[in-house]
Amino acid sequence: MNLNITHLYPELLNLYGDLGNIAALNMRLRWRGIGCTVTEVKLGGRIDFSNTDILFLGGGSARDQLMARNALAGIAGTLLEYVENGGVTIAICGGYQLLGKYFFLDGSKTEGLSLLDIYTDDAQGRLTGNVVLESSLVSDKIVGFENHAGRTFIGDYQPLGKVLAGHGNNAQDGHEGVVYKNLVGTYLHGPLLPKNPQLCDWILTQALKAKYSEFDSLSELPDIEERAANRFICEKYAGGK
């Protein structure tokens, strides 16, 4: 077995160590004897959706986010088809905002890719700090770091989790991130996946099930250091909830 990960615009969208998410996906496959091929698509490059099992879009500065949006606008229909067909997608921070109808850059309303019926409004002040979530996807808490000015509203979509500590999507509804089919969008950096091995494995499992009809489940890994880091953040910022 082998999974193909397509990493979009790594030269632009790696604001808070998002390359660590690619490393976590790669290594958690290889530790189990499953192959992993990572293809970096840089600005101007072609995305081979037929050979993509996981699509990763990280976070970037306002300028880089706009460049990524402009590059993807012409293939938004193909992206939407990939998502609707169950293509596994991870979108972090600026990449998360790109999924929706619109977002704001330097005070200007900017059209998104409209892959989801969500939107991001502008507001005074940034939402920053460590975050702890309770999620229906995994039994462990999800932890990470947020730093965003936009307030994202996801309507009736499933959130990634309920906020136990931090601000989340908009500091109003108590939710963070979005889950739609096999797509996960979130503001959480840190990077996210090394400190959340269960979430990383959930993503890998969805991709393996989509590609291999005979696939059942991933073998267990010790995850001693990973889960210790996760528990430390939970206890410090959410009182061990």
Residues acting as catalytic residues: 93, 189
Match 């979130």 to its residue by tokens: 186
- Cβ neighbors of 39 (< 8 A, separation 6 or more) are 4, 5, 6, 7, 48, 51, 52
The type of residue at 95 is G
Distance separating alpha carbons of residues 149 and 121, to the nearest angstrom: 9
Query: Encoding tokens for residue 234?
Result: 């939970």
Cα angle vertex 111, ends 167, 190, to 5°?
35
Residues 6 or more apart whose CB falls under 8 angstroms from that of 87 comprise 49, 52, 55, 182, 183, 210
